[in-house]
Amino acid sequence: MGPLDLLMLTPASLLLLLANIGLSIVAFNDEALIGRLMFDVGRMRRHGEWYRMLTSGFVHGGPLHLAVNMLGLFSLGPALELGLGTGPFLLLYVGSLLAGSGWSLMEHFRDPGYRAVGASGAISGLATAFAIFAPLEMFLVFFVVPMPAFLFAIVYIALSAWAASAGRQDGVGHAAHLGGALAGVAIVCIGWPDAPRQMIETIMGALV
């Protein structure tokens, strides 16, 4: 069964892809729309527009930003949705997205000019959750370097934590990445408490 066949069996993943792609493409040519949906610390604090913590995850800063996030959703979403069920998968996706926004708000609360867009927090949560369930599956870092999923998750969390704490201004939402990634781990540990033990056993079995 190919990736497109899997996608057609997973309605949440398909709808999330369509929503992200559709809204983002419209917003590329509609500054007013992206202005209403983006993560905007100033407007959230002044006007209580907390809905932006969710809606900002459905618009992107450009075609490349959109493509990278949607490739992650396309690669990870169907497998997780089939394994967990549609409801739990949506909980994982939305929980990771909101956690990423929440961590960004915490990091930038005193910066009313901070704005961000993108589904990176949600995709980060999917990646770390996938790493727990399938730790030895290979990820292609930068589409070139192969790395086991569990090692990728460790490196990703560590680098995101370092970049967020260092306050790097490189146009990447490191705080959202960190919050989403940690949420993915937390949601799996709460919802599937045997999964971390099974992950460790799988890794240890491969090393023996």
Q: Transcribe 152-208 into DSSP letters.
A: HHHHHHHHHHHHHHHT--SS--HHHHHHHHHHHHHHHHHH-TTHHHHHHHHHHHHH-
- Residue whose tokens read 């959750």: 129
Catalytic residue among 24, 120, 124, 160: 120
| Angle (nearest 5°) at CA 136 between 130 and 6 | 50
Catalytic residue among 60, 65, 108, 177: 177
Task: For residue 177, indicate whether it is catalytic.
Answer: yes
**Alpha-carbon gap, residue 32 to 132, rounded angstroms:** 40
- SS3 state at 137: coil
Positions annotated as catalytic residues are 120, 177
